[in-house]
Amino acid sequence: MNNIRTTTLTMKREFDVKAERVFDAWLNPAMMKKWLFTLEGTNKVAQNDPQVGGTWEIVDHREGKDYRAVGEYLIIDPPNKLVFTFKMPQFSELADTITVELRDVDTGCEMTFTHLIHVDTEENWTKADIEKALGEHHDQTEHGWNLMFMGLKELAETGKVSYKG
């Protein structure tokens, strides 16, 4: 029985640098370690194999626990488009799909970020239960990415991240 529902989160961000710099921050392990899912001080692992079919992994250690995020690269089209899966195995075996699209504008670049969020629901849930779960996942995911994108912007534009979450 398939009780998986989806919701889509779309966010836009502008950067005062060219798309190449932002694209690199998504794939360069040294840069990923500073902003993606984690902060450099709590990061235990940041590794990737940035090619189609290659994988990535981040392990963050917070409050005595390890949080692991993993995925596989589906599309890599520098510096325009990146598509990859995103999964946190300690919470769910469901893999979300993330699409990052970048385009240069006069002042730098614009990023359109789309996260297809999969939510496992129970068979006996009502429509209201499902809508509530999808809304909560959407809002929690948006909150997390908002925090990460503050770090991404600072890193891409200045080369460092001072934001500590």
Q: Divide the 165 residues of the chain into consecutive groups of 10 and give the mean pLDDT of each group.
A: 87 97 94 82 86 94 90 98 96 95 97 96 91 94 94 92 60
pLDDT of 44 reads 81
Q: Pull the structure tokens for residue 39.
A: 């902060």
pLDDT of 2 reads 65
pLDDT of 160 reads 82
Give residue-wise pLDDT tens across range 126-136.
Answer: 999 999 999 99
- What is this structure's pTM? 0.92
Domains of the chain, each with CATH number or no CATH: 4-157 (3.30.530.20)
**Angle formed by the axes of helices 127-158 and 19-27, to 10°?**
110
pLDDT of 1 reads 46
- Please compute, for residue 92, the number of CA atoms within 13 A of its CA located in the half-sphere on the CB side: 12
> Between the CA of residue 3 and those of 14, 118, 165, what are the distances in Å?
36, 10, 34
Reduced to 3 states (helix: H, G, I; strand: E, B; else coil), residue 23 is helix
pLDDT of 69 reads 93
